[in-house]
Amino acid sequence: MASVTGSSASIISSSLKQPNQAFTRMSTVNSVSLSISGNVFPSLRLRSAPSHFRVSCAAKPETVDKVCTIVRKQLALPAESAVTGESKFAALGADSLDTVEIVMGLEEEFGISVEEESAQTIATVQDAADLIEKLIEKK
């Protein structure tokens, strides 16, 4: 009994760690360049599906704030420009080079390594913060 419970727990936790496996890959870098095509990509709808995984492990406000700071600096946003967890990188004017620079800035700030597949899934500041905490936890 105990071993059965143990194995089902590990199945659940491993699927929590990789919620994106089942979903079509959608490039964050390309989505920045392509986001103004005006189309709702099917994979964007899919991408919002894993959010129920995130509700239970949403990032701490301090992490979100740090991400906001890095994003502001990279995009040289004016002080009045509001940047919150919901802010989309594309809508803030981040192009593909900005996005990769931001990811690199986050890697250095938090001492983590973000693989391309994970980087693709980042659309908002909150996404970045959540991913960061997940990666920190894994260390």
C-alpha angle 86-91-93 in degrees, rounded to nearest 5: 130
Query: In 3-state terms, what secondary structure has residue 124?
Result: strand
> Which of 28, 63, 124, 126 is the binder for other proteins (CB under 8 A)?
28
Work out whether 79 is an interface residue with other proteins (CB under 8 A): no
Distance CA 108, CA 101 (A): 11
> Which of 35, 63, 124, 126 is the binder for other proteins (CB under 8 A)?
35
Work out whether 126 is an interface residue with other proteins (CB under 8 A): no
Distance CA 12, CA 112 (A): 24
Residues of this chain, 106-125, that bind other proteins according to CB under 8 A = 107, 116-117, 119-120
Work out whether 36 is an interface residue with other proteins (CB under 8 A): yes
Work out whether 95 is an interface residue with other proteins (CB under 8 A): yes
* Cα distances (angstroms) measured from residue 46 to each of 25, 51, 62: 10, 10, 28
> Which of 7, 10, 15, 24 is the binder for other proteins (CB under 8 A)?
24
Catalytic residue flag (residue 95): yes
Work out whether 22 is an interface residue with other proteins (CB under 8 A): no
| CB-count burial class (<10 Å; 0-12, 13-18, 19+) for 27 | middle
Element (H, E) at 75: helix 61-75
Instruction: Note the residues at the interface with other proteins (CB under 8 A).
Output: 24-31, 33-41, 43, 73-74, 81, 87-88, 91-93, 95-97, 100-101, 104-105, 107, 116-117, 119-120
